[in-house]
């Protein structure tokens, strides 16, 4: 069965601090996909990144970076030099490659960035 755990319920940082959001997943499939979505106060989830299980290269996009480690079943998300606009709820999600897939989401981590 697939499962996504985001142990951090809320994180509060001061602007310009770096922050890492943790995501641990469980799956029996060898082919799967991991995602991060951002949910700002407006409520609309916005796609940030997608990773497939065969690509363990870390990725950097501006102030955002992602660390995928199959050995620990983790897909962590780091925001460097956080800004107030980064305040949102961030969801990690997993989709298995087998038939009848569905994307399941973790419980989310609420990030507060204070000025």
Footprint of another protein (CB under 8 A): 4, 6, 9, 31-33, 35, 37, 42-47, 50, 52, 91, 93, 95-98, 100-108
Nearer to another protein (CB atom), residue 47 or residue 81: 47
**Distance in Å, CB of 93 to another protein, minimum:** 8
Per the CB < 8 A criterion, the answer to whether 22 and 78 are in contact is: no
Nearer to another protein (CB atom), residue 52 or residue 69: 52
Please tell me the distance from the alpha carbon of residue 115 to that of residue 95, in angstroms, as a whole number. Answer: 36
Q: Is the dihedral of CA 80, 48, 114, 12 positive or negative?
A: negative
**Distance in Å, CB of 30 to another protein, minimum:** 13
Please tell me the distance from the alpha carbon of residue 109 to that of residue 23, in angstroms, as a whole number. Answer: 10
Phi and psi dihedrals of 107, rounded to 5? Answer: -75, -15
Burial class from Cβ neighbours inside 10 Å (0-12, 13-18, 19+) for residue 112 reads: middle
Nearer to another protein (CB atom), residue 17 or residue 110: 110
Nearer to another protein (CB atom), residue 17 or residue 112: 112
**Distance in Å, CB of 7 to another protein, minimum:** 13
**Distance in Å, CB of 37 to another protein, minimum:** 8
């Amino acid at each position: 069965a697939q499962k996504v755990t985001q142990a951090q319920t809320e994180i509060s940082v001061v602007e310009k601090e770096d922050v890492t959001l943790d995501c641990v997943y469980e799956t029996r499939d060898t082919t799967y996909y991991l995602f991060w979505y951002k949910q700002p106060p407006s409520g609309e989830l916005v796609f940030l990144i997608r990773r497939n299980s065969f690509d363990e290269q870390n990725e950097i996009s501006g102030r955002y970076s992602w660390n995928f480690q199959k050995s620990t079943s983790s897909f962590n998300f780091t925001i460097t030099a956080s800004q107030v606009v980064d305040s949102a709820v961030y969801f990690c999600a997993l989709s298995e490659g087998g038939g009848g897939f569905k994307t399941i989401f973790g419980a989310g981590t609420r990030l507060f960035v204070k000025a």
